[in-house]
Structure formats: C-alpha cells, structure tokens
Structure 1
C-alpha cells in the first residue's frame, strides 16, 4: 500500500499528511490533472514514515505507510528516480503508480498563505460519492444506505422487520416496506384549543398520545411539547413469580416504535404550531387499549360528588349513544372504571375539616341541619368526645306534621366506618308507605342523646305531636324519651325483635332440642294469642309447666322476670298480640326495609369513609322518597296491605258458607 495523495491541486501547494508511522520525508510528487506543466512537481511533507530516506531529486524514495484503509484509486503519483523494491515504490522514472487514500486527515499547510479548502477526503464505499468530513459520510450512510450502527446507544427496532436502526426509521419504512408516513402541519390559537383537538382526535381515531416532553416558561405556559403514541414502548419481561395473573389483553405496549407523534411549538405571537405524524405502524387502532377521555372522567367524578350510585352513572353514560350508533368509550364504562375514578379524583376521601363547611351549606338549603355538635367542643351539656348531627328536610317536616299517627324508631350501626350510629324516625304517608322523617347521626345512643334529638325535632316542628302508636325495638330508652318530650301514647315492640330475643335465650338456656322446641311452641302461643283472657290462662299454664322443671327452670324465670310479671321490663301490653288488635301494626318492617335499602342500594353494601359521604347518601335518599311519594299519589298506587286484603276478600267469596255456619238450633243445643 502506498501513500495517499490528494487530487486536483490548483497550484503548487504544500501538503501535510498525518497518521503515518515514524519518520519524515521531503520530496517532489507529480499530481496529474493539475495546472502544473508536465514533469513539474508539488513539494509535500510526509510525517510518521518508517525508515524514510530522501536525499535529492532523482534518488530512490523508500516509503512505508500505516493505518490507511483500502479504497478505489483516485489519482496517479509520480515518484522521481524511484526504482526500488521491498515495500517501496517499484517504478521507473516518469511512470505513475495508482493509489487510494482513505481516513487520512488534513495536516497543517507548510505555507501559511495556502489552504486545502474543500478538498474531499472521505469516500462512500457503496456509491463512490466523496465528502469533506466524516460526519457527512455517516449521515449519508444512514439516510441513503440504512447502515446499521450497532454501536449506537439509541437503536430503534423496525416494528415490521425487527431490524435495528440508529435513526431515520421513517425513511426505512418507506424504502423497505412501502409505508408512506403522513405528516400534517396544524395551527392553534392557544394551548386549550390544542387540548380540545387532541381529545377529539383520540376519541375519533381510537388512539392515545402520551406526553413525552414538555417545556414551560416562568408563567407555566407551554413553550414546546412532544406527544408520542401510547402503544410505543418495550414489553416488560415475563416474571416467573408474580402475585397477579396477567391481563387478558396482555400489555398496551407493542415492543417497538410507532412513528405517530405530535410536536407542538409556541410561536412568538402566542399561537401554536403542531407537526402531527398521523400514520400508526405496528398495531391496530383498537378500542380495548384506549383510555377513557378526560371529559367523561370529569362527568363521572361530578356524578360521584353529587351522590349518584355507580349503577345510575353507567346508565347515564350508556345513554350518550348518538345517532351514528357507534360505540364509544363512554358506553364501555364499567363499575371498576368508576371506582378507579373515585380514587383518582378523591371523590370519597374528602377531608374532615370540610365537614363544617358542608354543614353550613346545608343549613342554608331546604335540607336543613337542625343541630351539629363536632368532636372537640363541650357545649349543651355534651362532652368533647361527643358527636351528633340532627337532620330534617322541609319535606320531612311537613310529612311528620300530617302523618304522625304511627311512628317507628330504630337505629343502625353500619352507616359509617367511624362507628357512627344512625337513628331514624319514620311515619306512614297517605298510601301507608314508610317515609323517613328525621335522622340522628351520633357516636352514642343513650337517653340523653335521644331526648335531645326528640326535643330538637319538636322545636323544629313548632308543635307537639299527637301520636297514637310508637313502635320501637327492644330498647326502652326510645319509649322513655318519647314520653318525656311528646307525652304518653301506646308503645309497642316490634314482634320480629321479640321473637329474636325469645329464640336467643331459648338456645342459651335449654340444651335439649326436643324440650327447647316444646317450650318455643308454648312461647309462640303466648305471643300470638289474640284473646286477653285466654292470654292470662296460657301465661299461668306456661309458668306452672316450666317453672318447676330443671331443664326449663332458667328460661321460665327469665320470662317471668322480663316479660310476664306486671312490673317486668317488657310488659305484655307492648309485645303480646292480644294488646295490639285493631291497631294496624305488628312489626317495624318499614324501618327495617329502609335501613336495608340505605345499606345495599345507596351505600353498595359498604361503610362510608367519612361523615360527609354519609350525609350525601341521606340527602340522596330524602330526594328519592320525596319524588316517589308524589309518583304514588299521581299514578294510582295501591298499597301492599290493600292488595292483600282484596285477595283475601276474593278468596272468601269462593268459600261455601254452610261449611262454616252452625244452624241456630244446633247452636242452642250445644249451649
């Protein structure tokens, strides 16, 4: 291999060549095609040449060149007086030797007035095109020949052929796969206009774009931003041990580069210019990998904040179907999506310090808060750790004034995760359907709390209630507090709770099943006996039979102490059927049904995390009961009890009267 010499010298020009091994040489070289006359020579300087000896013109010039890459011959060099061998130029005087030059850098000119300028030093080995810098040659190889630079740190894998490239993937897709990358240039008045365009585009094309980079100024205004397709990215490696099962849709990432992206830039006048690469490669535009648009998320969050249930929200979202009958992400919302939005927008986790603000708002609305006592305040005779809220809307107040003949009172302990107790007062409307009239939400239920509750209700009503019947569970504090505030009336215990108390004590005090069943039968006869005189006979008979037996002695004493004695805790006048004939009430099922609806329909079988959420559920159920009451009146609702009586009356008409009537003569003979 021989020394490389540059072509096309315009005049006699000193040249310096670097990166050649040890030594130096000075000599004359003839460059064909130059403006020099034939036989003239160009003085050059050669550095780092091994064993280089050059004395005078015409003598032999032994030259050894290192670190020079093979390339095509680009010129002829005349070495005067050369006639040597063994690694030197082996030609006679006047002959020319073809050589090639590659990867040799320009050295400093021996003459400061001369310059090598635009002399090409780098040649493409594929198309023989020359370049004046190494960087231009690399760019040429990437753009034109798709040279794989395996040492690059940022390799992009083609999603169609799996080959890796350091860049210019769009050129490869077009040249190798015939994929035409479409690009649109768009103008926007402001950033909000761009966001609206982006949301609309994502919904129409079933695609999503992620913010890869965004730059803002000191006023937090967007200067530049770059958005990439959400399907772009690597697939995480499979883990051998994982707690969760993989999703059925696997992953949203395709494991390659999707060229679709948006580059946004703010102009000097405040407008925005976007360069949008619309073409997606490597994946289908599938709805199952799309995110729910933010406008639908915000709508769902609003519905959650006003207290709508997930089932109602799903119906509302599915009613958004337009005339095109095209299914959108709004119609595909699931209960899991709604629960995720709850966490994302913190619709459930409202800070407790906002409770007082919410109470102040309710006091100014039609759904008034009669009284509110928060923890940490010692007022109205309550301790600092006492908490209670008394709630009664205007519609509830009017209903209680008009329908107070029969009142039901009960408490439930499952309304809040904080252990708060909800005590409800219910009446019956004109259709004999239960209607909640007032609520007490407190952390305790005792005579002091319930008396204060009834007193505030009385003040809010502006009058005393003249109730005929008050039915409660087995807690005597309700009847005592009612008598203390509203006066005396008929107090009854719910037969469901009475039977429950009987069965619990039977199971605890009598171990033998046969004896227990016999005693249970006798107790139920006492409970359901409709004749007061016969009730007394059955009571005495019950005590005589079971009070003196070892197996039943414990239960008989329990009945005598709590139910059968005149001064017992639960006197027969409040639980025996014979003392409630013609009263029209036997159980407290209207309030039991209300609590069941509240827990399972409005609270989804879960306990509320905070008081604010519980109050919102109560407001929601008040609104529903108010509307349902109007609907029943205007649509000819027939109460369940009336339907039951009508069916029994129709059955009685089909009976043969002679089978139930005794002739008068036979009756006189029996007497």
Structure 2
C-alpha cells in the first residue's frame, strides 16, 4: 500500500501514486477557458453579436423582453416523443431540424433540434440564377426556439427541454417542406404507377378542410422532387371511373356540403319560381370558399362569362367571376342552364344574395355586349357605378363583323385602327381619333356598312369599351378573362368532343378546387411568377435609362419623363401598404403602392418604368450640388452687416450655379436646398421673416 506524505491519499498501485503527486502536489493543471471563437450568433432585432446561443437567449430576455424560458417534458419512449414533435410542428406551422449529430454517453443519448429558419444563408452558386420567389428560409440571425431530447438508454424514456418562442420570422406554411410521411406515401403511389395528377387530386381532397396542412400547397414540382429523391419510375396507369347521373351527383353533394346552391331539373316546377317553365334546367354551384371570395373581392369588380354548349341539350355555362388577391380571375358561381336571358340572370343574382346573406354593392360590372347580365343583376342588387365591356369580346365582335367590308384588303387596316382606338389612354387624342375614324368609315363606300354598325353598337357607349375611360379601375380584361374563358370552355365542353353533363359538372368543381390550391400556393409561396419576372425586368430596364426627369407635381405625385419621349406621365402614391408577394425588392414597394398614367400601368396593371425611375430618384441624389461652395457662402454671409448684402450674396450664388440647372427636377432640387440655406442666413442675423418665392 502506498501512502502520500502530503495528504491522506492511499493506493495499491505505484503508478497511481505518481499520477497523484504530479497532478495534485507537483504541477497541478489549470483549467483552460472554453474557446468559443469569434461571436457569430446574431440578434434578429438589433446589431448584437454573441458567441453562444445561451448568451443570445439571455440578450433576448433582458434587452428585448422576449420570454425564452424552457418547458420540461417527459415521454415514455422515442415514438411518443416523435409523435409529440410532429403534432407541435403541425399546430405551430414550424419545423425543428437536427443541429448536429447525436451525442451518446454511458447512460443517455443527447440530441438538439433547432428551428429550421435559424442561421445564415450561405450561397453555393455563382449568382447566375435568382433565389426562389420567397428567398432563403434562413433569417440571417438566431431564432431561440429549440428542442433538447435526452434518451435514457436503460428505460427508453425521453426527457425534453422545449423552448417554443420563435423570434425574427413568422410561421409561414409556404416555408415548410412536405412532411416525411406524405413524401413516402407519394413515392409509394408513384411506384404503383399512379399519375401525378391523380396523386395531387387525392391529396387536395383529403386536406380540403384543414387550411394549416402543408399538403394543401402540393404541386407537380413537389411530386417530381419526390420521384427524383426516391428514384420512382412513374408508369402511366389509366383508371376508369363510373359515370353518374346529374341527379345522383346533386343528391350526393347535398349530403356532404352546401355546394349546390340551386337545382331545378327538367320536368319539374317550383312554385316559388313561377318564371321557370317545366322545360327549364338550372343548376347553380358555389362552395364556401367561392362565396367568401366574392364577399371579400366582389365589391370592386364582378364579371360574367358564358360558354355555349354544343351537345344535344345545348346547356350553357354562365360563370360569375371576380379578381383575387393576385389580380387573376377567380370563379365564384357556376350556373348551368338551358337558356340565358334576364330572368335566368336575375335568378342567379337572387341565389348569390341568399348565399351572401345580403346585397353586394359592386363598383364595376364587366360583361359582353349583351344587356341581360346588367339588367338581371340590377333587378336584385344595387346598380354598379361602372358597366364595362370585356375588351376581348369587343375585339371579337369587330373581327366577326369585318365581313361587312366588301373588300378583304381593307379589313385589316380598319381593325388595326379600331384596336388602336380601344387601347388609347389619352381622352383628348381618343376623342379626335374616334371622330376621324367614324367620318372615314361612313364616307367610304367600301366601309359604310361597317361604319353604320360601329356607330350603332359602339358610338354612344365609348365609356364601356375605351381604355381611356377605364384607367385605374383595377381591371385588365385581356389579362385574365380571355384565358379564363378558354379554360372554362375546355373544362366544361371537353375540347372537340362534347363532354357529358354528369362529367362536366364534377370537372368544374375539380377545376375550382385546383384554382383554390393554386391561389393558396401563390399567397404562401410567392406571387405570380410571370408578374415577378416582369417587375424585375422593369427595374433592370429602368437602370439602363440614361436620360430621364422626375419632378414634384404640386403635391400630387411626380411628373416623370424617360428616354427620347417628350411626354410627362404622372405617378401618384396610392398610400396602400400590403404584404403581397408582387413587389420590387430594390424599390421596396409592392405593385399596389403607385400608379402611373402611362398605358403599361393604367391598362395592363404593371409596375412601369416610370414608377421604377421615380423610386430610383427618391432613393439617390441625381443633382450633385457643391456642398463646399454652399457652406462657404453661409460662412461669408454670416459676416454681412445689412439685409441688402445678404440678398447680394444670394444673387451671386444663384448666378454661380444657374448654368447647372437643366431640367425641372434640377430646379426643384435647387429650390429646396437653397431655401434651407437662405433661411439659415437670416436666422443668424435675427432678420425679419423672409417669404421665399420660387
């Protein structure tokens, strides 16, 4: 037995005694401080940096008053823990990912999960491609939310330290990936040969009533990503479906939802609707989301579209549309009927009123040239302020009536002239051009018949079809109504071969469901990609404009002139701030913030180059005045002894930089700056108040 002469330590081994003497009595080791490296954990609310997440949580609590306390939980096994983790991720629209590899000791396994938005974005590319529409998931800072799990190797129990507080971001559904269980289920169906469209359709049906389910936003790209990850061979397997009659479909739908708003089959009479005959057929459909869309968006504009049936029954489809948050057409009510007249349209308006529970006072109604829609609507609802013709229907009517021009070679010039009239945005130019066009049409024997038709149908209602009378009514008929008409025509009619009615009606509801899903995707994952690309290209084009002028417009926006054009366009601030995805990140504004009097903005609802130029002007100084000269003048004028000498100094300053004033913008900029300095001069001399005039 070995004993230490310095203390009471005893050991059986000599080596242990040597180690004891070296470590305790001869040269004891000093514990080195932990090397945490440079501070890399950044605060999302200020410029503070720390070395550890623990320090950052203390900073959030002490400086920003954010509760970062942890909750202690215990689970019987790993399965119960994973189930709890999946549930809170679904409820809170969040995701926790492993920060590092699990660490195992003799008794426990420790694993840490961070919020998936925590951290800094590190680009691995070369900048040739743009980021995804929403940008990186990383918030370039620290989110304190985390989960620490400790698995007891002996009992299998799991102890958890859970910090639920998220900082620096919102919990957005579009930021989440598909859950692993959904990805595996998609991979299984793909391996069985089920088509992508069938998979997406079944997923959307299963999550129809759960707005917080990530599967609601599933797209074809998600399915393609799963197929690539799991290396699935997508064999095409076509499944036949049993056709059902309209009556059975209506009965089945009424049992599960209130989508069927009105149904009157042939061979029946309804005492409450004596205007409907025994031979009439009317079916009106709208789900709850469609009604809500009309409730929220229909106050601005509603549109009517009609698709004529080609089958034996000639049932027509009438669609009531509005414009959704992404400024695209959205179908709110479908009506299938055997006739279209004022009585049937009044019935549709009555059903809409019953579904909403009140009247809807819309600003604008857009239809084709028929009066049945406006008359039927106004018989039930308040009359709209504006009634417009769809530009696509107007142009189509002109093309169909060009046969009234006897010489074929004269038809195309006439059509181009009228189309230019329709697209003209200046009312004065439009009025002169319209009178000239009518005079030429009516005084040419070749076009006199067409001229009479044009004057009779369009001469007295120019406010309904001319773009100059529709500026900034938030309508762009050619943008969405023509494409929506073609889509509905294909869905309802089925292309060249007429689709049976019992298949066309479910196809319409499936189209509506997909439309809702696409709208959700656009709202959660970013706006219309084509519109975003147009905004980005518009800003890049504005950067290449070498000569332009931006000047205040007497408190009513700005006057903007660009390029070689001599025309000034008025850009006004709509004072609308929203969080929509259709925005220019460089200009720091969305597409709703400003409007311009040019054609690109007024009729096509684009963020034109004039808006980009105005933002560029406000964010940087185009006129560089010599601050040194101005300061020198201030110093010199502070030594003057009289009011007249001050005026003389001001006059000298004006003549010294007068040659640099080239545009209206330069003059306005100079006025604002020189006014400030002149007032400073006379304040120093305790002079009387000077009224500075331009």
Q: Return the TM-score normalized by structure 1.
A: 0.45
- Which structure has the larger Rg? 1
Q: Comparing both structures, which one devotes a greater share of its residues to helix? A: 2
